[in-house]
A and B are shown apart, each in its own frame.
Chain A
């Protein structure tokens, strides 16, 4: 079976995966006992008359049995309609599209930096296995892996923006200031980007570093590396051309997998730095129980995750000659 057949097979398999995803996401939100209307409109402003609540239930289709609700939702979803937000009555799709650029800016920056740093450090650590350098990096990675990301973000904010006043503490740009040149605008945005990006980079680099290091360690013990060395290939070529290529395969899978984090944003980081992207949208919608918004956002993220995983698998299959297409 060739690569083309493999791709087609994977595309067909996407259909049941998609249906399963919708079922899981839909049931997650209906996991809680009790009635959504009662839950959404509770508290001081929740004193709605029972008749009004009943009317809302009918309007939202909540009086129907659960499977009918699911199919109604699914058929709308297949037409590209994610519904309307309870809170600001805008189509969910529009809100998502509005928020994507900010999330992408932050996440792509963090992702690219962490991939590069992790690969460089990971390769050196694996090559100098059992050295002081290796030990330091590994312990550092473990610390980065264990650190609560939101606490790190808060500490960065405290030290670098409140005490040292080097970087601003919130938002993607300074509001209400007119900049002289476009360069100043860019500089301003860059300054805002640094702290949240650093908070993400620390955690992601730590995670990736461990992966690159262990993959590299495993590859370096293989016979073909010894063969290359015994042929007299220069050591750096052995490492960067022969070994790294295979060691990077798990990284590809990771990049596909990380799209989920990328789009749901590191939710807390966006919340802390008032970065109004998808992550913050998710937190805000959860707080006000805007559940069409939540449902729409989740299914959007899930679809992106599926596409990314598919791309990663195909890239993996295309690059790795050892892979069996099944």
Chain B
């Protein structure tokens, strides 16, 4: 933040680009990287499939045909052991995966932001206590905590999984948010706001938060693929929602018929790989375009 002194003359009009212009600037930078654009395209493509899968999938999910059919003109990706069309199943799986990824990230943001804000802005004891908790959760292996938390749930609906993943995934975000708040609360504009009598709440939400939105967006984009992979892993291991047909379930199913009909296992795995690669590329590109260094 540059501070400008006006020596009593007519106040210079500060040019502040509109939101659309700022978005355009980011887009122009993003466009320079082919990989980032590929990532963006993939994310867009997968999201469209997820949204439109009930309309565009070629077969209904309860449409049972010949089982274990190899890929053909009728069934581009073959059929599974129950005779369902693999393409339709994979499309439906995208719906579940994107929902879980985005949902878990939203939960993570709510918790991580809250804790990071409080620790970074207020400092002192609050900071000390919150950060110790954050560090401990951060250092424990994620998959271990997920299994621990999930082991005792009787009903493992997709929403329960999503909540647990979000509730355990926030420490990194919280640490980054905290360090941003720590440095921004010392800036002149925050001091100015404070001296005008703005409340802490107002400063935290209205003054500082908008300045770290880009950091949060980048971190969130980068965390979505992790949550998608974790959900698939948990489901594959048998700790997911058994009623959903997420990619993890399809993979588990494919594993049982791995030798005789490998396409059942190949398709959802490739879909997972493409989705997570897309989000990672997009996240990397976004980080470079927004020029963010994730400070620790």
Q: A143-B277, A301-B141 are in contact. Are A148 and B132 (CB under 8 A)?
A: no
Bound CA–CA A39/B140 (angstroms): 26
Interface size class of A (residues with CB under 8 A): 35 or more
| A–B pairs, 14, beta carbons within 8 Å | A16-B132, A24-B136, A25-B148, A31-B164, A34-B152, A39-B154, A142-B281, A146-B277, A146-B280, A158-B258, A264-B144, A294-B151, A301-B144, A302-B140
Q: Is A286 at the interface (CB under 8 A from chain B)?
A: yes
Interface centre among A147, A283, A286, A295, by most B CB within 10 Å? A286
* A279 vs chain B, min Cβ distance (A): 9
**B132 touching A17 by the CB < 8 A rule?**
yes
Cβ–Cβ contact B148 & A268, under 8 A = no
Question: Residue A145 contacts which of B133, B137, B147, B280 (CB distance < 8 angstroms)?
Answer: B280
The list of the 8 closest CB pairs from A to B, nearest first, reads A32-B152, A151-B269, A260-B141, A146-B277, A146-B276, A264-B141, A264-B144, A32-B153
Chain A residues closer than 8 Å to B232, beta-carbon distance: 148, 150
A209 CB to nearest chain B CB (Å): 14
Q: With contacts defined as CB atoms under 8 Å apart, how many contacts are there between chain A and chain B in the complex?
A: 137
Chain B residue numbers with a CB within 8 Å of A147 are: 273, 276
B289 interfacial by beta-carbon distance below 8 Å: no
Asked whether any CB of chain B lies closer than 8 Å to the CB of A154, the reply is: yes
Complex interface: chain A residues within 8 A of B272 (CB) = 148, 151
* CB-based contact A287/B238 at 8 Å: yes
> Main SS of the interface on chain A?
helix
Q: Report yes or no: A24 in contact with B133, Cβ–Cβ below 8 A.
A: yes
In the bound complex, do residue A28 and residue B145 qualify as a contact, i.e. CB atoms below 8 Å apart? yes
Known A-B contacts A142-B284, A146-B276, A154-B258; the reply to A291 vs B152 at CB < 8 A is yes
The reply to whether B141 and A155 contact each other, CB–CB distance below 8 Å, is: no
B145-159 to A contact mask, C-beta < 8 Å, 1/0: 101111111100000
Does A42 lie at the interface of the complex (its beta carbon under 8 Å from any beta carbon of B)?
yes
Q: In the complex, how many angstroms separate the beta carbon of B212 from the nearest chain A beta carbon?
A: 22
Q: Does A289 contact B (CB under 8 A)?
A: yes
Smallest Cβ distance from B295 to chain A, in angstroms? 13
- Say yes or no: is B237 at the interface (Cβ < 8 Å to chain A): yes
Within 8 A of B (CB), among A168-217: none
Q: Closest chain A residue to B156 by CB distance?
A: A32
Q: Is the CB of A151 within 8 A of B251?
A: yes
B151 touches A289 (CB 8 A): yes
| List of B residues within 8 angstroms of A30 by Cβ | 152
The docked-state distance in angstroms from the alpha carbon of A158 to that of B35 is 31
Interface residues on B, range: 35 or more
Interface string of B84-104 (1 = CB under 8 A from A): 000000000000000000000
Bound: A29/B145 CA distance, A? 9
Contact with B along A15-29 (1 / 0, CB 8 A): 011001100110011
Q: Does residue A103 face the partner (Cβ distance < 8 Å to B)?
A: no
Can you name the residue of chain A whose Cβ is closest to the Cβ of B132? A20
Q: Check B148 against A21 for contact (C-beta < 8 Å).
A: no
Give min CB distance, B84 to chain A, whole Å.
20
Chain A contacts for B144, CB-based, 8 A: 260, 264, 267, 282, 298, 301
B57 on the interface (CB 8 Å rule)? no
Does A148 lie within 8 Å of B147, measured CB to CB? no
Cβ distance A251 to chain B, nearest Cβ, rounded Å = 15
- The verdict on B123 contacting chain A, using a C-beta distance below 8 Å, is no
Q: A142-B281, A145-B280 are in contact. Are A286 and B143 (CB under 8 A)?
A: no
Q: Mark B263-295, 1 if CB is under 8 A from A, else 0.
A: 001100100110011001100100000000000
Beyond A17-B136, A289-B152, 16 additional pairs, beta carbon < 8 A = A17-B135, A20-B133, A21-B136, A21-B140, A24-B133, A31-B152, A32-B149, A39-B154, A146-B225, A267-B233, A268-B236, A285-B151, A287-B239, A298-B144, A301-B144, A305-B139
Q: In the complex, how many angstroms separate the beta carbon of B156 from the nearest chain A beta carbon?
A: 10
Complex-state Cα separation, A28 to B236, whole angstroms:
22
Q: Collect the chain A residues with CB atoms within 8 Å of residue B135's CB.
A: 17
CB closest chain-A residue, reference B237: A283
> CB-CB contacts of A217-261 with B at 8 A, as 1s and 0s?
000000000000000000000000000000000000000010011
Q: Are A158 and B251 in contact, CB atoms less than 8 angstroms apart? A: no
Whether B148 lies near A298 (C-beta < 8 A) is: yes
A256 to chain B minimum Cβ distance, whole angstroms, is 9
Q: How far is the CA of A53 from the CA of B141 in the complex (A)?
A: 33
- In the complex, what's the smallest C-beta–C-beta distance from B276 to chain A, in angstroms? 4
A264, chain B: closest CB distance, angstroms: 4
Q: How far is the CA of A143 from the CA of B280 in the complex (A)?
A: 9
**What chain A residues lie within 8 Å of B132 (beta carbons)?**
16-17, 20
